[in-house]
């Protein structure tokens, strides 16, 4: 099992599937509500807002979001399992759930299953599920500390960086939609070492860094990530990384990457 206390636990996904579709959004809410330990207590159109959860009010709002405009739907839960979720409706379709780092590890398996079911509805271009390792001091005091931070950094799909440099690397679990399967090549993805591979019925590929990635120790996570990334980097789709001053990361968009997730079709 994990030998570290996480500082962030994040499910995130980006795609071009319109989220102002009432039927699709209803499916997403059906999934979220179907897990008692993850069912939302509150919702809002603002990050700091907190209205009693009401799916009818949410769907009424979704119906008014026209193509090219946007709305942010925030979902929150204050009791275990505590989280803050954000569903960004157009023009950048983005779903993220950030869980309390003190989340009991007994929920990890359900969390990965929860993410998987959301992905089957949204069918993203790229998605990740990652339990981030601790924040180590900088400059890094050891190669293990540096490598651990690199893994966490590349697993992030924050839109502010993603739409500039594209995907940065693998997470504990990574989903590649058809947009990226084409760029990497299905054969390359399905031959990735140190991973469990699974074709998705909607045309994507799921890569897990082990059969049960949430059970990896920090060192095993680094080793599996490094081996898998060495296999995939020659495709020149993941952003190029420069580590300088033994403390800072700079990413540059890779030459073969066409960034997905912004109505690129």
pLDDT at residue 67 in the model: 67
| Contact between residue 2 and residue 220 where contact means Cβ atoms under 8 Å apart | no
Reported as a single tens digit per residue, the pLDDT across 64-116 is 887 667 789 999 999 989 999 999 987 789 999 999 999 999 999 999 999 99
pLDDT at residue 69 in the model: 74
Pick out the chain residues at pLDDT < 50. 264-265
- Output the pTM of the full model: 0.95
Structure tokens at 125: 């271009």
| Contact between residue 31 and residue 118 where contact means Cβ atoms under 8 Å apart | yes
Place of tokens 């403390």: 247
pLDDT at residue 51 in the model: 96
Count of beta carbons in the 10 Å neighbourhood of residue 6: 21
Sequence-distant (6+) residues with CB within 8 A of 249 are 149, 150, 153, 241, 242, 243
How far apart CA 168 and CA 164 sit, in angstroms, is: 11
Name the 3-class secondary structure at 37.
Answer: coil
pLDDT at residue 138 in the model: 87
Ramachandran category for residue 169: left, alpha or beta (phi over 0 → left; psi -120 to 50 → alpha): left
pLDDT at residue 264 in the model: 39
pLDDT at residue 90 in the model: 75
Give the number of C-alpha atoms closer than 13 A to the C-alpha of residue 9, restricted to the C-beta side: 22
pLDDT at residue 179 in the model: 96
Alpha-carbon distances of 129 from 10, 104, 149, rounded to whole Å: 6, 16, 16
Sequence-distant (6+) residues with CB within 8 A of 188 are 231, 232, 235
pLDDT at residue 265 in the model: 34
pLDDT at residue 244 in the model: 87
């Amino acid at each position: 099992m994990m030998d570290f206390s996480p500082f962030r636990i994040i499910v995130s996904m980006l795609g071009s599937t319109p989220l102002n579709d009432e039927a699709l959004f209803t499916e997403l809410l059906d999934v979220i509500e179907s897990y008692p330990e993850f069912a939302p207590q509150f919702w809002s159109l603002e990050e700091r807002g907190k209205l009693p959860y009401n799916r009818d009010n949410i769907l009424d709002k979704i119906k008014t979001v026209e193509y090219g405009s946007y709305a942010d739907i925030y979902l929150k839960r204050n009791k275990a399992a505590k989280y803050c979720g954000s569903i960004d409706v157009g023009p950048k379709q983005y779903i993220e759930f950030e869980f309390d780092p003190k989340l009991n590890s007994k929920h990890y398996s359900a969390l990965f299953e929860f993410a998987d079911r959301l992905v089957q509805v949204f069918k993203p271009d790229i998605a990740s599920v990652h339990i981030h390792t601790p924040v180590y001091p900088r400059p890094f005091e050891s190669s293990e500390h540096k490598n651990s931070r690199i893994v966490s950094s590349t697993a992030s799909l924050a839109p502010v960086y993603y739409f500039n440099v594209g995907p940065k690397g693998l997470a504990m679990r990574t989903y590649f939609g058809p947009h990226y399967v084409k760029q990497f090549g299905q054969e390359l993805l399905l031959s990735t070492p140190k991973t469990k591979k699974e074709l998705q019925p909607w045309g994507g590929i799921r890569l897990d860094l082990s059969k049960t990635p949430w059970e990896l120790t920090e060192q095993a996570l680094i080793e599996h990530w490094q081996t898998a990334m060495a296999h995939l980097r020659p495709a020149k789709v993941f952003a190029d990384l420069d580590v300088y001053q033994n403390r800072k990361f700079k990413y540059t968009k890779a030459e073969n990457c066409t960034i997905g997730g912004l109505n690129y079709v």
